[in-house]
């Protein structure tokens, strides 16, 4: 936590210096690099007008994927250029930019939890639903400060060779060392972890929140010697590739990549998958102003959302996209009714209020 606070403070200092002309663009970029951040800095607000929309997402393949799925269709319709910055929409960076009045992003690809947290703090704008059509997304996917642009899920992935062809059916099997011997993997970050533990312990979905930490930790404690904790999607994949784990709680997009690599030897179950909503948020003082809401509305069209599913595995939030899916699309999307029979939706509002405290307790427990 102290490291995060330090980075936020250092970023704020650098942004203020850049805004006030005390440091030049090159020095600002050097400072960002020293903090482990990559920011696509615009030379000044005059150059960052309504003729350009800058998205910030988590980088890597997502940069090209968002450009193809969301940027190009919007530019074709409006003539407005879309730039994708893969720096990662860290909430500390968004807060610092807003506080320094030096915002360089127009829309960020965080999650509903981040949207609620930043909205509560006054760092993001309410979504303008006079421009953005909330009917383009499913139930409870349009909030005051964020709207869901795609969904993803934590799933129970497994090595079918190590399970001797037997598929685990829900999180209770994750704890069955006699039926499925071998190491397991879970994430170091708490969202979607203790929900799985409580479901395995027989808690009804309607009773999951507020999380009963004592019950979850009691259930999890005997499994700790058999667990390896991952902190990146790439690491979760590698644990399976190396044969270190027989099953794990990982993102469905990573499970899909593993399945493709191994022709189904490494695969996953949709039973009790844990659904998350990614979401667009708009930092206060975004350079493109209200034009950003036209972009957000365009990004909810089903055609672009299907492109994102096929390139990154993010499930569509527009129900019309489901009718347009191929059979292959349906196999990898958390959005389809057949994959959502026993699905549990992780509550972003709960984490917006409680995440910091729960995360610290979880880390203390697993360490």
In a domain, 335, yes or no: no
Between CA 136 and CA 280 the distance in angstroms is: 14
Could you tell me if 86 and 180 lie in one domain?
no
In a domain, 356, yes or no: yes
Could you tell me if 70 and 219 lie in one domain?
no
What is the three-state SS of 149-199? EEEEEEEEEEECCCCCCCCCCCHHHHHCCCCCCCCEEEECCCCCCHHHHHH
User: What pLDDT tens digit does each residue of the chain (367 aa) get?
Assistant: 333 333 344 445 456 556 666 555 444 544 554 444 544 444 343 334 558 999 999 888 889 999 999 999 999 999 999 999 999 999 999 999 999 999 999 999 999 999 999 999 999 999 999 999 999 999 999 999 999 999 999 999 999 999 999 999 999 999 999 999 999 999 999 999 999 999 999 999 999 999 999 999 999 999 999 999 999 988 999 999 999 999 999 999 999 999 999 999 999 999 999 999 999 999 999 999 999 999 999 999 999 999 999 998 999 999 999 999 999 999 999 999 999 999 999 999 999 999 999 999 999 999 9
In a domain, 133, yes or no: yes
Q: Burial of 366 by CB count in 10 Å (0-12 exposed, 13-18 middle, 19+ buried)?
A: middle
Could you tell me if 165 and 256 lie in one domain?
yes
Contact (Cβ atoms closer than 8 angstroms) between residue 246 and residue 183: yes
Could you tell me if 156 and 303 lie in one domain?
no
Could you tell me if 85 and 168 lie in one domain?
no
Residue with tokens 């058999």: 226
pTM here is 0.85
Of 134, 137, 133, 114, the closest CA to residue 124 belongs to 114
Could you tell me if 111 and 242 lie in one domain?
no
Torsion on CA atoms 264, 302, 276, 111, rounded to nearest 10:
130
Scored b (16 or more CB within 10 A) or e, 199-230 reads: bbbebeeeebeebbbeebbebbeeeeeeeebb
Could you tell me if 16 and 136 lie in one domain?
yes
Could you tell me if 204 and 286 lie in one domain?
no
In a domain, 338, yes or no: no
Could you tell me if 8 and 124 lie in one domain?
yes
**pLDDT for 204:** 98
Could you tell me if 24 and 161 lie in one domain?
no
Contact (Cβ atoms closer than 8 angstroms) between residue 95 and residue 320: no
- Going 39 to 40 to 42 to 43, the CA torsion angle's sign is positive
Could you tell me if 226 and 359 lie in one domain?
yes
At 272, which CATH number?
A: 3.40.190.10
In a domain, 336, yes or no: no
**pLDDT for 160:** 98
Contact (Cβ atoms closer than 8 angstroms) between residue 118 and residue 285: no
In a domain, 324, yes or no: no
**pLDDT for 32:** 53
**pLDDT for 60:** 84
Could you tell me if 25 and 159 lie in one domain?
no
**pLDDT for 46:** 33
The parent domain of residue 195 ranges over 152-276+347-366
């Amino acid at each position: 936590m102290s490291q995060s606070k330090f980075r936020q403070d250092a970023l704020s200092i650098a942004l203020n210096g850049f805004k006030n002309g005390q440091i030049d663009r090159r020095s600002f970029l050097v400072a960002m690099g020293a903090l482990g951040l990559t920011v696509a800095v615009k030379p000044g607000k005059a150059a960052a007008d309504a003729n350009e929309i800058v998205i910030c997402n988590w980088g890597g393949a997502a940069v090209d994927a968002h450009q193809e799925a969301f940027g190009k269709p919007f530019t074709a319709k409006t003539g407005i250029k879309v730039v994708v910055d893969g720096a990662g929409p860290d909430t500390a960076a968004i807060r610092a930019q807003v506080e320094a009045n030096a915002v360089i992003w127009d829309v960020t690809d965080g999650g509903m939890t981040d949207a609620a947290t930043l909205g509560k703090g006054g760092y993001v704008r309410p979504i303008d639903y006079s421009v953005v059509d909330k009917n383009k997304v499913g139930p409870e996917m349009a909030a005051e400060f964020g709207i869901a642009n795609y969904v993803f899920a934590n799933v129970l992935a497994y090595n079918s060779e190590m399970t001797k062809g037997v598929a685990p059916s829900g999180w209770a099997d994750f704890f069955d060392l006699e039926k499925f011997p071998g190491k397991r993997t879970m994430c170091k970050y708490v969202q979607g972890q203790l929900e799985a533990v409580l479901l395995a312990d027989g808690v009804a979905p309607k009773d999951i929140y507020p999380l009963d930490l004592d019950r979850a930790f009691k259930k999890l404690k005997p499994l700790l010697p058999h667990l390896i904790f991952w902190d990146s999607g790439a690491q979760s994949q590698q644990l399976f590739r190396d044969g270190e784990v027989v099953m794990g709680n990982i993102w469905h997009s990573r499970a899909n990549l593993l399945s493709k690599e191994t022709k189904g030897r490494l695969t996953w179950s949709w039973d009790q998958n844990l659904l998350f909503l990614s979401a667009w948020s708009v930092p206060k003082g975004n350079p493109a102003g209200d034009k950003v809401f036209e972009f957000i509305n365009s990004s909810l069209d089903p055609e672009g959302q299907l492109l994102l599913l096929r390139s990154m595995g993010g499930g569509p939030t527009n129900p019309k996209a489901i009718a347009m899916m191929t059979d292959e699309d349906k196999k990898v999307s958390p959005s389809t009714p057949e994959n959502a029979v026993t699905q549990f939706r992780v509550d972003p509002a709960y984490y917006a209020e409680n995440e910091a405290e729960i995360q610290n307790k979880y880390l203390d427990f697993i360490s």
